[in-house]
A and B are shown apart, each in its own frame.
Chain A
Amino acid sequence: MSTNLRPVPSAPESQISPELLLRMHELMVKARALEERLIHMYKQGDGYFWIGGPGEEAFNVPLGMLVQKGRGPQFDYCHFHYRNSGTWLAMGGDPIDSLRQMKNTVTDPFSGGRNFVGHYSRREWNVVPVSSPIEVQHSMAPGTALAQKRAGGRGITIVTGGDAGTAEGDFSTCLIWSSRPANLLPVLMIVTNNKWGISTAYQGQHGEKRISERGKAFGIESKTIDGNDPETSYREIAQAMEYVRSERKPFLLEAMVSRLYGHSSASGANRMTDEADCLVGFERKLEERGLRSRKEMDDLRARFTAQLQEAHKKVRDEPQPDGKTIHDNIFADRDLVREN
């Protein structure tokens, strides 16, 4: 197989248009404001548990902007983990829905109050239900990719997870099943490496220097990038996606990111001061380039914060699911997934 490998060229250094940069910035701010609101909600008792992705916006937002969203094998299947809020917003998700899931209201469109916040699901966009167990999505990803390979077209399967989860066998499952010589699969495997598994440091548990190097043993193109830089992220994701879309082969992309509020509310959800903040670095660049002033950025943030505060008030008054509904939707009588 190695003889058939086509080297992936480095992402082009070409400028990303100012409009795109500003759009990315806006989404990153929106994603951060959303996570901060969710943490507020948790601390105010408007939710039982918080988990999310503050600190990963510089990677997650470009990812969401590049997803080809839609229903069925011609579009991208997304097997996300619970830190993909930035991706969700960049795909066009409405932040109030995250608040609804946080408050487990009946209006929560992802699970009707059944699942934790950040556990997105939407068949219309091929976003399969996010699950709390770490890494299981990596065992499922080859299945959707197999359907896409067979269907033809340019749809790919995107699976995301963290660094700690790569210790699970499911990560190996994805590497092996995506690179079977008889049937290479269009899977974009993404590891957002925040260097932590809850309270356990990556360094103490992993001997491999780079997680991406594990792809090499399978002949899988792979790369480690700075996920705290949105321009790098955008270019590299676009590059990796194009490879997977056109070659119909897997790619393993590791992005180094920060974890700004710890693992979850279980570890306090307090701001970490020793982690790089991607938003701070990006805003400095935007200011230096004269693309957006400090005041404009402050206003933007204030606007999103106020919007989310209002949304929070609204969600607070929305109804909780009725206990009588626990038996609803256990079995389907329609084959919805085949009605694509």
Chain B
Amino acid sequence: MSNMVQAIRMALHVAEERHDLTDVFGEDVGPPLGGAFTATQGIKCAWNTPLDERGIVGASIGLGLAGCRNVGEIQFCDYAYNTIDLLKLAGMMYWVSNGDWNLPMTIMTPVGSGIRGSIYHSHSFDATATHIPGFKIAMPSTPRDAYGLLLSCIVDPNPCFFLVPKALMRVRNAPGEEIPGEPGDDRALSKLIDAPLGDRSKWQPQWPETPDLFVPFGEGRTVRKGRDVTVVSYGRTLPLCAKAAEELSQENLDVEVIDLRSLWPYDWERVKESVSRTGRVLFVNEDTEVTNFGEHLVRRTTDELFYHLAAPPKLLAGAFVPGIGLADNLEMASVPQLPSIRAAIAELAVMEA
């Protein structure tokens, strides 16, 4: 069963074979490395670029304008900040030309904490991405969703962000959620599509036959049904929310967990239906909490669901600090972890309005 980087690789393979994906590019994306996280190993159209993020985003725009479906990778989202004006430009291409120039392009980038990446390998990007209108934004929490969301990004005629939670890169699908066609045995899959150590010059991947499985934008997934509290999350914190919900079920709390999966467009109907039932909602993500995407969701909840609420809508997000410090204690204190998520849910469950 695949982990997330293997699922990404399989999606890229399917896209280059069947969906006109012409270029996958970025720093160390091509051979011999195949990506800092190995997500592009074995992809025929993968190539290495100069160490120049502005060049990567610019080339992605240029290729898209010329009708080439492409995936440009920024090795860590922390290094996308010097490309903000280009990203803004990409997001406005269709709008500013009043519907004349659409722009098929995907920017793929690893996001978030979880690898003790210190200040410049731990940033989140969801708050920034949702400040750039004109992009569709996908952020998976399972390999299967990574596969389906990436395919949706690639075939979309608009600019897309594909944000990959780096803490989940090696996480595998839950039983029953595998990608159809992939070997169930981890070792068997590894043998087929993981590049060997050492000389790779003669290595060819053996791709399993996997289908066109598109996870559409704007369609969240209810990971767990519940009556008492709604928890809405995505990316790294999603499995932690599911785990917290499971633990709290031992204390007779019935927690519903929604994986948003795409942040723009997003599945408001699913959130609305759930919160209307439970009257309590906690939004969880790990980006810094001020002007956080979760704040938008809290605002919308207040605006539209006020009279359904039994308690104030809550946001648990990353601390508003300049960076995530390297030491274990610093990282753990900077972004939501299982204990803080669990405590926030438990507190919300008994809070009276």
Partner among A122, A143, A334 whose Cβ is within 8 Å of the Cβ of B102: A334
Check A147/B100 contact, CB under 8 A, given A114-B95, A176-B55: no
CA–CA, A333 and B104, complex, Å: 11
Q: Is the CB of B60 within 8 A of A180?
A: no
Q: Is the CB of A139 within 8 A of B55?
A: yes
Stretch with Cβ within 8 A of B (4 or more), from A51-59, A123-131, A249-257, A259-267: A123-131
Q: Is the CB of B62 within 8 A of A147?
A: yes
Q: List, in ascending order, chain A residues with CB within 8 A of B98's CB.
A: 110-112, 114, 328-329
CA–CA, A258 and B82, complex, Å: 32
Q: Does B59 contact A (CB under 8 A)?
A: yes
CA–CA, A123 and B64, complex, Å: 13
CA–CA, A337 and B259, complex, Å: 33
CA–CA, A123 and B85, complex, Å: 22
Contact string, A180-213, partner B, CB cutoff 8 A, digits 1/0?
Answer: 1000000000000000000000000000000000
Nearest residue (CB) in A for B52 is A173
Q: List, in ascending order, chain A residues with CB within 8 A of B59's CB.
A: 139-140, 142-143, 146, 177
Nearest residue (CB) in B for A329 is B99
**Nearest CB of chain A from residue B70's CB, rounded to whole Å:** 8
Partner among B50, B58, B93, B104 whose Cβ is within 8 Å of the Cβ of A338: B104
**Nearest CB of chain B from residue A152's CB, rounded to whole Å:** 13
**Nearest CB of chain B from residue A287's CB, rounded to whole Å:** 42
**Nearest CB of chain B from residue A301's CB, rounded to whole Å:** 33
CA–CA, A31 and B102, complex, Å: 30
CA–CA, A146 and B89, complex, Å: 20
Check A128/B101 contact, CB under 8 A, given A72-B67, A337-B64: yes
Q: Does B68 contact A (CB under 8 A)?
A: yes
CA–CA, A332 and B49, complex, Å: 29
Q: List, in ascending order, chain B residues with CB within 8 A of A334's CB.
A: 102, 157
Q: List, in ascending order, chain A residues with CB within 8 A of B89's CB.
A: 131, 133, 136
**Nearest CB of chain A from residue B298's CB, rounded to whole Å:** 23
Q: Does B103 contact A (CB under 8 A)?
A: yes
Q: Does A73 contact B (CB under 8 A)?
A: yes
Q: Is the CB of A123 within 8 A of B101?
A: yes
Q: Is the CB of B100 within 8 A of A122?
A: yes
Q: Is the CB of A140 within 8 A of B104?
A: no
Nearest residue (CB) in B for A328 is B99
Check A329/B95 contact, CB under 8 A, given A336-B101, A336-B157: yes
CA–CA, A335 and B49, complex, Å: 26
Q: Does A15 contact B (CB under 8 A)?
A: no
Q: Is the CB of A143 within 8 A of B158?
A: no
For A144, A170, A333, which residue has the most chain B Cβ atoms within 10 angstroms? A144
CA–CA, A89 and B62, complex, Å: 24
Q: List, in ascending order, chain B residues with CB within 8 A of A340's CB.
A: 67
CA–CA, A73 and B63, complex, Å: 10
Q: List, in ascending order, chain B residues with CB within 8 A of A145's CB.
A: 62
CA–CA, A331 and B262, complex, Å: 15
Q: Is the CB of B57 within 8 A of A146?
A: no
Q: Does A239 contact B (CB under 8 A)?
A: no
Q: List, in ascending order, chain B residues with CB within 8 A of A332's CB.
A: 94, 99, 102, 157-158
Q: Does B97 contact A (CB under 8 A)?
A: yes
CA–CA, A131 and B100, complex, Å: 15
Partner among A111, A119, A143 whose Cβ is within 8 Å of the Cβ of B64: A143
**Nearest CB of chain A from residue B51's CB, rounded to whole Å:** 10
CA–CA, A328 and B100, complex, Å: 12
Q: List, in ascending order, chain A residues with CB within 8 A of B96's CB.
A: 111, 114-115, 119, 121, 129, 131
Q: Is the CB of A143 within 8 A of B133?
A: no
**Nearest CB of chain B from residue A128's CB, rounded to whole Å:** 5
Q: Is the CB of B54 within 8 A of A146?
A: no
Sample of 7 A–B contacts (CB below 8 Å): A136-B86, A140-B86, A142-B59, A146-B68, A170-B54, A331-B134, A332-B94
Q: Which residues of B contact A (CB under 8 A)?
A: 20, 22-23, 49-50, 52, 54-55, 57-69, 85-86, 89, 93-104, 133-134, 136, 157-158
* Pairs of residues from A and B, 3 with the lowest C-beta to C-beta distance, nearest first: A143-B62, A139-B58, A147-B66
